[in-house]
Amino acid sequence: MTVEHDGGKSGPENRAMAGSTTKQKVLRAKYLDWCSARLADSFLVLAPDEIYEMAERASHGHAVERLVAETVAHPSGVAADTFPRVQNSAAALPAADTESFRTLVALVTEVLAETLHLPSFETWAADYEKSPQKYDDELLGFWREAVTD
Amino acid sequence: MKLLLLPTSGSALNFFKFFKASEAYSMWDTCAVELRVNLPRGVAEEVQKVQRTDPDMLSRIVFYAVTRRTIYDTLANRERASLTSQES
């Protein structure tokens, strides 16, 4: 029965391969956890104008005023619904009403991930192997889900 | 015991940076939300104390953690989509 899945490899070889795959999966998830720290640092200090620009850039020119207005208060402190809105912009972005924060974060993350020059997975993993503690201290534990999946 | 929502030592700097940028936090449109969480007894008492003395602090911790989690989900989904498109 095992042969169907392991291409005829023996038990120990198969276990070693599975172990290596799990290790790689954990490492990739830890990399994403670490990247989330770098991206959150940048995201959380953005001004509304910057969030707007990035979200619009990521949405490839689609109007995002409504999405930003639903999530971010106006910088001057006036109610968010006084933010300029574009007619019929609800169709421009998916599920803007119910998941505006998630959608906004996804759009801005896309731009930040391109501009922050984060290390590639390979570079990060090589450095992680040298000093894992340096990186583990910055993780919040989201990576654990990849192991339990 | 390590508490998932709270920062470990290395990421404490991220928190301080975020807390300092108070104007960045205040720009978000906010509303009240009630949470029920299970914590070790000692931590629970400390949280209740902080809630009385500095409720804004707890809001920021939750906001930071949820934002990071959403970013992580975004990255993980993007990676899954990329792997799926490579396989097909």
- Model confidence over B28-62: pLDDT tens digits? 777 888 889 999 999 999 999 999 999 888 888 88
Is B76 in Cβ contact with A32 (below 8 Å)?
A: yes
Distance from CA of A47 to the nearest CA of B (A): 6
Q: Taking 90 as the threshold, does the pLDDT of residue A123 lie above it?
A: yes
What's the pLDDT tens digit per position in A50-102?
Answer: 888 888 888 876 656 666 666 666 544 433 333 223 323 333 334 344 468 88
- B28 strand-pairing partners: A72
Q: How far is A17 from chain B (nearest CA, A)?
A: 19
What is the per-residue pLDDT for B39?
95
Question: Angle CA(A34)–CA(A38)–CA(A40) in degrees, nearest 5?
Answer: 110
Bridge partners of A72, per DSSP, are B28
| Least confident segment among A10-24, A36-50, A73-87, A129-143 | A73-87
- Judged against a pLDDT cut of 50, whether residue B12 lies above it is answered with yes
The yes-or-no verdict on residue A45 having pLDDT over 80 is yes
Q: Do B27 and A33 touch (CB under 8 A)?
A: no
Q: Looking at residue A15, what is its pLDDT?
A: 66
Give the per-residue pLDDT at A97. 42
Instruction: Give the length of chain A.
Output: 149
Contact B79 A140 (CB under 8 A): no
The pLDDT of residue A57 is: 85
B80 pLDDT tier (thresholds 50, 70, 90): confident
Nearest CA in chain B to A37: B68
- Give mean pLDDT, residues A28-49: 91
Share of chain A above pLDDT 90, in %: 33
**Interface probe with A: pick from B20, B30, B75, most Cβ of A within 10 Å:** B75
**Top-ranked range on mean pLDDT: pick from A62-71, A114-123, B4-13:** A114-123
pLDDT at position B5 is 43
* Among the partner residues A36, A102, A137, nearest to B68 by beta-carbon distance: A36
